[in-house]
Amino acid sequence: MIVFAHLLNDRSGSPRVLKSVIDATLATGKPLLLYIGNDGDGVLSNCGLRTKKYWYWRTGNKLGTLFTYFVSQLVLFSKLLIDRDIDRNSVIYVNTLLPFGAAIYGKVTGKRVIYHIHEISVSPVPIKWFLTGICKLTSDLNIYVSDAHVKALPIAQVPSKRIYNALDVAFISCANTSVYRHRQNSVFNVLMITSLRGYKGVAEFVGLAAMLKSRDDIHFDLVLNDDEESINQYFIKTSKPDNLHTHDRQVDITPYYANASLVVNLSRPDLVVETFGLTILEAMAFGIPVIVPPIGGPAELVTDAQQGFSIDCRESEKLAEKVCQLADNEALCMRLSAAARVRAAQFSSEIFAQSIRDTLDLKIT
């Protein structure tokens, strides 16, 4: 049996990757069980296997959420400990560093523990030390999502393996049928899909839109993995230019990709190192040119001037100049588009699934 443990079920990158892991293991006929926190309704809600929920609640403040988080891991450990459905030879698959209660359970019961690590930036720093310390004590294998990730968050004495993320079959099918267009109704659409966090470059994206507000033919779409109230609160203190449209958490983001001329990831290199960049890969699957940070996982996905461009988001003038260049040069965009599709095809779901099955020593029945 494989027991998966995850904390927050939303539509961000880490649960989507776990969904791909589950899809890869479902094909083997191996008994599977998923434990997820009960606060959230995302991609893991209907993932095709038996699911058990444990208590978790995000409060309105950081200290409250930190308290409920630690309580949730005590609950997770207790639930696993009394669960008679889990056999002694089970593998405990911990998705992200956060569900440490499952890792401790695996260690004290003598089960193999595998961490699939997605993050680098965990705050506050003492929590990062604590979580990586638990991982060091309990994990038999750490899966990382890029080579840069392995170097950025090494955990001594724990074997590691890099498995690049991939896109699921349904998404790839949708992307393959989409025809990239340099402009939609004469408009060059710049898209960013991210979370409302300072290090994700939201302020830089808003600033970029403001810098180009005189260009009536360039529009900006910001899709945030947050609710409408949080977005409205953010823009009470931040002026929103007329050429920028914001959208709250979406169930299906493919229409935004289908409408995009350019996709950007403006994560700040001084505050965070992106471990992979799933939205970048999604965009390239749609044949969309991209602008990405020059370090971390995105640098492994994108070669500068081939599928897009590598630019530090703090270089605002250079960023604005590049957006204008792309908006005014259809031939350049079409060349980048073709290269982006070729590059995205190298991160196939089949390669990902086989890598996961090999790691778990599973075969399709």
Q: According to the model, what pLDDT value does residue 267 have?
A: 95
304-336 confidence digits (pLDDT tens): 999 999 999 999 999 999 999 999 999 999 999
For residue 214, is pLDDT > 70?
Answer: yes
* The pLDDT value given to residue 330: 98
Say which residues have a Cβ less than 8 Å from residue 71's Cβ, sequence separation at least 6.
55
What is the mean pLDDT of the segment spanning 239-265? 96
Q: Residue 326 carries which DSSP code?
A: H
Cα(28)–Cα(112) distance, rounded to whole angstroms? Answer: 19
Reported confidence tier of residue 47, pLDDT bands at 50, 70, 90: confident
User: Per DSSP, which regions of 203-248 are E strands?
Assistant: 218-224, 244-247
* 167/256: higher pLDDT: 256
Give the Cα separation of 101 and 36 in Å (integer): 12
When pLDDT is cut at 50, 70 and 90, the band that residue 75 belongs to is very high
Q: Residue ranges of the domains in the chain? A: 2-166+348-359, 170-345
Do the domains spanning 2-166+348-359 and 170-345 agree at the CATH topology level?
yes
Residue whose pair of structure tokens reads 């449209």 in the numeric block = 245
Mention the CATH class of domain 170-345: alpha beta
With residue 126 as reference, give the H or E element that holds it: helix 125-138
Asked if the bond preceding 124 is cis, omega within 30° of 0, the reply is yes
pLDDT of residue 27: 85
- What average pLDDT does the segment 191-204 reach? 94
What is d(CA 364, CA 127) in angstroms, rounded to the nearest whole number?
Answer: 39
Give the separation between CA 118 and CA 120, rounded to whole angstroms.
7
Pick from 247, 243, 152, 239: nearest CA to 196: 247
Cβ count within 10 A of residue 282: 24
pLDDT at 12: 87
Whether residue 260 has pLDDT greater than 70: yes
Average pLDDT of span 325-348:
97
User: Is residue 365 scored above 70 in pLDDT?
Assistant: no
Highest mean pLDDT among 41-45, 59-63, 250-254, 258-262: 258-262
Of all helices (H) and strands (E), which one includes residue 252?
none
* C-alpha–C-alpha distance, residues 331 and 359, integer Å: 43
Digit-coded pLDDT (tens) for 166-189? 988 889 999 999 999 999 999 999
Tell which residue, 363, 362, 360, has the closest CA to residue 140: 360
pLDDT band at 300 (very low <50, low <70, confident <90, very high): very high
Architecture in CATH for domain 2-166+348-359:
3-Layer(aba) Sandwich (3.40)
Q: How many residues does the chain have?
A: 365
Distance in angstroms (rounded) separating the CA atoms of residues 12 and 18: 11
121, pLDDT greater than 80: no
At 190, the pLDDT band (50, 70, 90 cuts) reads very high
Over residues 7-21, mean pLDDT:
92
Residues 25 and 171: their CA atoms lie apart, in Å, by 19
List the beta strands (DSSP E) in 132-204: 141-144, 160-162, 188-194
209-219 average pLDDT score: 97
Single pTM value for the model: 0.87
Query: Which pLDDT score, from 0 to 100, does residue 62 have?
Result: 82
* SS3 state of residue 19: helix
**Token representation of residue 264:** 């950007």
